[in-house]
Structure 1
Amino acid sequence: MDVTPLVWIITIAVTILFFIYEFFAHVRKPHEPSIGESARWSAFYIGLALIFGVVIGMVWGWDFGGEYYAGYLTEKALSIDNLFVFLIVMTGFAVPKIYQQKVLMIGIVIALIMRGAFIAVGAALIENFSWIFYIFGALLLFLAYRQAFSHGESDPANGKFMTFVRRHLPVSDEYNGDKLTVKKDGKRFVTPMLLVIVAIGFVDLIFAVDSIPAIYGLTEEAYIVFVANAFALMGLRQLYFLIGGLLERLVYLAQGLAVILAFIGVKLVFHALHVNELPFINGGEPLLWVPEIPIWLSLLFIAGTIAVATVASLMKTRNDREAKDRDQIEGEPVIAAKDESRGS
């Protein structure tokens, strides 16, 4: 895939302009977006991402187009999981809804910057050290295990990291609009808003460690990795308000992402064996009999896993709600009977 420096410059410049527009058009004036506004902009950004995949396919070939779509789906799914943690942070810090847009915007920009740095490092490692695929594969398998069995066990708002921050910074008890610091009795304090942003930044760092090895397991093209991440993050703010209630119903999202990460981890290990240069594995020779998982299979597997996890989650939450309603209805006659016996 031949991507000229000019294409890189234009892509990065347009991405920056999108976020600048987002800030001045939607975030600068604090407000809670309506469902209609969130739906329209979410549809716009998702449609734009899908169209860009067609452009990649037409310009550079449909193999790269398939890699882009697989990477975009994976990053979008991971970004939705990221939103779930953002929701926990917002709830833990009791962020007023009118200021949540600003926090999300800052968090998304931080995420893009961190992922950009990881993309550059990952591209350099892949270019010079083929054995890095073994490490990426092992890391994804570990992350898959953690995703499946440790999801939701920690509170980013009250964890060890935030306890450390609170211990070393003078923090005011109340929000002061969307200001990050406030002066009281001649002393400067940081507001809870700054703590929220610090927590969001820490979460972004963790998710960058998850997402970049995952997408490098689907493509070795740094340009595809960057645009897939950029499009996955665009519109994430609107998606937060659109599916805020739905997030709590995606109870199997963590398990679905764990399956995807494990699949990509295995794919990376297979690829590492196929291009092996380590002297203690097969004498430093590639294991050509090891299968390479084609991108079309990766795309189908990722899309299918996301669909199954979503449908299974919605079915479970619906069944749980119906069971709860039945228990309440069945319990009412018993309570009424007890009240009548007391009255007699």
Structure 2
Amino acid sequence: MRVSFPYPEGSSVTVSPLIWTITVVAIAALLLFDYIFHVRKAHIPTLKEAAVWSGLYVGIALLFGVLVLVFGGMQAGTEYFAGYITEKALSVDNLFVFLIIISSFRVPRENQQKVLLFGITFSLIARTALIFVGAGLINQFAWVFYIFGLILIITAGNMLKPESTDKGEADNFIVRITKKILPTSEHYDGDKMTTTVDGKRMVTPMLLVMIAIAGTDLLFALDSIPAIFGLTQDVYLVFTATAFSLLGLRQLYFLLDGLLDRLVYLSYGLSAILAFIGIKLILHALHENNLPFINDGEPVPVIEISTGTSLLVIVGVLVITVFASIRSPRGRAQAAISGARRDARNYLELDYTADDAERRRVYQEMVENERTVSELPGKYRAMIKEEYKFRDLLSRAHARYAEVSEEPSAR
């Protein structure tokens, strides 16, 4: 049995069950490799480790894209790369929320890899299910493109709304229900899901943070799946582009940690991309229209945006967004303020990590960020929310560092 996927240009890609099986097994093997060799033993990845593995996963995704180009043709290859780049950009945006959740739950640095890998695995499973549901709806009802288009346009508008990063997104409904049903310990017990406190079995915060990650993954999938269906309706390409965009996300988190705050315009760029794809979907829906209350059920003669054009727009918007963020004085200021606050909190939180080298690294980063903040012009220092609390937090971190530094001589 073979499945063919037609394209507007008249070409088609035939994917055999054998290719499907090999692809799924390969992706599962990459995830299993991560579980066995990277997160089985809790540790804090170095910058070099994160960079090497992030580069490797990106390389695998690009190599797969080249194979699609060779065996599937230019149209299939263009659709894959457009989908992969869009999903990868959305994944980076998702890392902002992961960072908030992990910080809210004060997940020890050594165990953050396991939380992220669980989130990636759950996200892949959830998105795969939605991919096949979405494909089934598209095959049966062409008007679904109208809905997908509206979802993306609404999402694009919501991304432009200012949001507070201190509002405790981790404390969602599912987490609150879990706390009421299951006895929960106040502290972590390594990376265990359950622990024993005073002879009573309890779940640890590790389970709660994974539930919070899973809940947000479902919300992310509702945005990302319509977005990629706006670029290709080939289920195989949708699945592989989505899967490869998620693989390596764990390493990317540690590589970009501390730099995420610098991408101040990323939400604007992603908003523009989602709005563009949403309009593309609605134009396609009009072109294939069969709703009786629109043009008497006849197709509407509108322009359709090619995949090549879509790829150029997506890459162009991302390049401009990232360049503008990196060059932005506001981005530098926001990164320094947020970094100093986060580093001070992590240093003072004794459960953050038991690794002395990591704690020293966090303190030094706080000092560097604090120096950058002190050199900021007044208009950017005004970005500090509740400055007196910010200064007090830094002072307590300095006092704690001085106290720890004197301990060896005291002995």
Same fold (TM over 0.5): yes
- 2:66 pairs with 1:54: yes
Alpha-carbon distance between aligned partners in 2 of 1:151 and 1:254, rounded to the nearest angstrom: 11
The question of whether the paired residues in 1 share the 8 Å contact of 2:122 and 2:214 is answered with yes
Contact 2:159 2:271 in 1 (8 A): yes
Residues 1:325 and 2:375 aligned together: yes
- Matched ranges for 1:46-85 at <5 A: 46-85=58-97
Q: What do the CA deviations read for 1:135-183 (whole angstroms, capped 9, x no partner)?
A: 0001111111111215556532124443333233211000001000112
Moved more, 275-284 or 142-151: 142-151
| Structure 1 position 103 matched with structure 2 position 115 | yes
Within the alignment, does 1:264 sit opposite 2:277 as a pair?
A: yes
Farther off after superposition, 293-302 or 318-327: 318-327
CA distance in 2 between counterparts of 1:305 and 1:165 reads: 41
Check the 8 A contact 1:156/1:162 in 2, yes or no: no
Equivalent of residue 131 in structure 2, options 113, 119, 132: 119
1:38 to 50, 55, 79: 50
Q: How far 1:99 moved relative to its partner?
A: 0.4
Distance 1:46 1:226, change over 3 A: same
In the aligned structure 2, how far is the partner of 1:150 from the partner of 1:144? 13
Matched letter for residue 172 of structure 1: S
Instruction: Provide the C-alpha distance between the structure 2 equivalents of 1:210 and 1:150, rounded to a whole number of angstroms.
Output: 19
Corresponding position of 2:408: none
1:177 to 186, 190, 193: 190
**1:240 counterpart (243, 253, 268):** 253
Find the partner of 1:291 among 291, 299, 303. 303
Aligned partner (choices 230, 233, 246) of residue 220 of structure 1: 233
* Cα distance in 1 for residues equivalent to 2:175 and 2:89: 26
Q: How many corresponding residue pairs?
A: 328
Contact 2:172–2:212 at 8 Å: present in 1 too? no
Percent of paired sites with the same residue: 50
CA shift for structure 1 position 74: 0.5
- 1:310 and 2:322 equivalent? yes
Structure with the bigger RCO (C-alpha within 8 Å, sep 6+) is: 1
Deviates more, 1:221-230 or 1:306-315: 306-315
User: What corresponds to 1:22 in structure 2?
Assistant: 34
Aligned amino acid, residue 292 of structure 1: E
Deviation per CA, 1:169-206: give whole Å up to 9, x if none: 21100000100011223322110000000000001001
- Looking at structure 2, the residues matched to 28 and 323 of structure 1 have their Cα atoms a distance apart, in angstroms, of 38
Distance change (3 Å), C-alpha of 1:275 and 1:192: same
Deviates more, 1:151-160 or 1:121-130: 151-160
Q: CA deviation at 1:49?
A: 0.9
Alpha-carbon distance in 1 for matches of 2:214, 2:162? 20
Query: In the alignment, what sits opposite 1:274?
Result: 287
Query: By how many angstroms is 1:262 displaced?
Result: 0.5
Say which of 187, 192, 195 aligns to 2:200.
187
Distance (Å, rounded) in 2 between the aligned partners of 1:150 and 1:283 = 41
Structure 1 position 4 matched with structure 2 position 16: yes
Unaligned runs of 5+ in 1: 332-344
Counterpart CA distance in 2 for 1:210 and 1:326 is: 37
Question: If each structure's helix is expressed as a fraction of its own residues, which one has the higher value?
Answer: 1
DSSP 3-state at the match of 2:202? strand
- 1:138-153 equivalences under 5 Å are 138-149=150-161, 151-152=163-164
- Secondary structure at the residue paired with 1:189? strand
Aligned partner of 2:363 in structure 1 is none
- Structure 1 distance, partners of 2:221, 2:199, is 39
Which one-letter code corresponds to 1:192 in the other structure? P
User: Using the alignment, how far apart are the partners of 1:326 and 1:219 within structure 2?
Assistant: 46
Structure 2 distance, partners of 1:315, 1:257, is 18
Shift of 1:82: 1.1
CA shift, 1:326, in A, is 4.7
d(CA) in 2 for partners of 1:23, 1:61: 35
Residue 158 of structure 1 pairs with residue 208 of structure 2: no
- Show the counterpart of 2:348: none
* Deviations, residues 310-341 of structure 1 (Å, cap 9, x unaligned): 1122222236767861548xx9xxxxxxxxxx
Deviates more, 1:313-322 or 1:156-165: 313-322
Question: Is contact 1:151–1:254 with CA below 8 Å preserved after alignment?
Answer: no
